[in-house]
Amino acid sequence: MKVTLSVIKADIGGWVGHCGMHPDLIAEGEANMAKAKKSGLLIDYHVTKCGDDLQFIMTHKEGVDSKKVHEMAWNAFMSCTSVAKKLRLHGAGQDLLTNAFSGNIKGQGPGVAEMEIEEREAEPIVVFMADKTASGAWNLPLYHMFCDPFNSIGLVISSNMHKGFKFEVLDIKESKKVLFECPEELYDMLVFIGSPSRFSVRAVYSRETGEIAAASSTQKLSLIAGRYVGKDDPVCIVRCQGIFPAVGEILEPFARPHIVEGWMRGSHHGPLLPVAVKQATPTRFDGPPRVIAAGFQLADGKLVGPLDLFDDPAFNNARQQALDMADMLRRHGPFEPHRLPLDEMEYTTLPQVMQKLHQRFEKI
């Protein structure tokens, strides 16, 4: 059976500040999703949160980029925004960049990851959701999952993974895409995806069958809006087992925390901290950036789950390491490499300060 998975998320108001999600917004989101399920538009849904981002995980038969599904999600975010405004939550409606729905929710602020699949006999999926970081945050973990035999032993000893995977990479600034066949083109690909602020892995495909293995949100809010409106706080759907890496191979990259951009004012580098959903409330210096993982089995499009996959002591050492990395970076205060380079900061006073001081700069 063909089924479409759509994960659509937006920050439509934080509680308190940009740290978390008020339960009334989850309730309003659920009420909207329940109505869409009753009408037959959705097969199933799960509403959750990561930090200040409201997450709609949905299954349906409308295919990717469905106007009906996107419009329903847009309207649900609008009605949640009304609740956020009543509660005077911080930044109510901040990611809804336009007044009205324009046909495709991509490009209007919310983040979108979608895939249409032929559901297998058993279809395990993991939905990763991050807060206080940008879409390129998935580049390194996707590389480990699908290209690195030190992470995914299946690449070496499982005959149906041995051919490798194909990566679709977007150049976010130039709006171009390019495909890489891995492992043959690994070194070429790394030239690009090693710069996650510009190049971002949008999808991964099995070379055994051509089926989609992973899809991520690549919307860059600051480019859409032309100004700072918060970080992208991306999501990523990954299929597991069989011709794809096992659940444990998909989670393993997060046992070695890496550094991403985001954190306070979207203008810093910090470790990506893997946490249980209940701990996805970035408080220290508005962070450090968080990632949660919700696991589901699909059953004729029904979402059997979630299992909160990072709610496991096996990730305690990773959390400790990430917190140590956070301490080390915080010591740099306003200095790089904690603070982002001047041209990548979301918040900047550079133009104003330059304007004020330009006459005092002398030629040498």
Q: How far apart are CA 77 and CA 153, in angstroms?
A: 41
Beta bridge partners of 42: 60
- Residue 266 contact, options ligand F6R, Mg ion, none, Cβ 5-8 Å cut-off depending on partner type: ligand F6R
Residue with the CB atom nearest ligand F6R in the bound state: 286
Closer residue to ligand F6R, CB minimum distance, 28 or 286? 286
Closer residue to Mg ion, CB minimum distance, 143 or 263? 263
- Residue 286 contact, options Mg ion, ligand F6R, none, Cβ 5-8 Å cut-off depending on partner type: ligand F6R
The reply on whether position 11 binds Mg ion by CB under 5 A is yes
Q: How far apart are CA 62 and CA 59, in angstroms?
A: 9
H or E element at residue 2 = strand 2-10
The reply on whether position 233 binds Mg ion by CB under 5 A is yes
- Nearest Cα neighbor of 5 from 47, 49, 57 is 57
- Nearest Cα neighbor of 143 from 194, 199, 211, 197 is 194
- Residue 290 contact, options Mg ion, ligand F6R, none, Cβ 5-8 Å cut-off depending on partner type: none
Catalytic, 302? Answer no
Closer residue to ligand F6R, CB minimum distance, 274 or 289? 289
Give the side-chain half-sphere CA count within 13 A for 306: 22
What amino acid occupies position 339? Answer: R
Residue with the CB atom nearest Mg ion in the bound state: 18
Beta bridge partners of 239: 125
Catalytic, 65? Answer no
Binding residue for Mg ion, selected from 116, 131, 232, 308, defined by CB under 5 A: 131
Distances (CA, A) of 86 to 80, 91, 100: 10, 12, 20
- Residues 83-102 binding Mg ion (CB under 5 A) are 91
Binding residue for Mg ion, selected from 20, 47, 49, 53, defined by CB under 5 A: 53
What amino acid occupies position 261? Answer: E
How far is C-alpha 193 from the geometric centre of its chain's CA atoms? Answer: 16
Chain residues in the site for ligand F6R (CB under 6 A): 17-18, 91, 132, 230-231, 262, 264-266, 286
Active-site residues, by number, are 11, 228, 231
Which residues sit at the interface with Mg ion, rule CB under 5 A? Answer: 11, 14, 18, 51-53, 91, 131, 230, 233
